[in-house]
Amino acid sequence: MIFRARDDFDLDLARSALIGDKNSDIEAGRRAGVGSLVFLQGRYGFVPAEGVAVCEKLGEDIVLNFRQQ
């Protein structure tokens, strides 16, 4: 799905962000070479891998996470 989005929308994955709520989402983004990974915490109770930004809700949390990095 990530590579299809890359091809359909001419995305530069290294300059893109992926928001996921499962560890498998984050791992898929990492393997695809997505530059920024954000874990949306709370829905499934997973603990994200090291080096992954974490937010509790979509919106302002994500903007603040990216400004701090």
**Domain extents for the chain?**
2-68
| Sign of torsion over alpha carbons 21, 23, 24, 29 | positive
In 3D, which of 26, 42, 23, 31 has the Cα closest to residue 3?
Answer: 31
- Percent of the chain topping pLDDT 90: 30
Helix (H) or strand (E) run with residue 36 in it:
strand 36-40
Strand, coil or helix: what is 19? strand
Q: What's the pLDDT at 45?
A: 64
CATH number of 2-68: 3.40.50.1000
pTM: 0.71
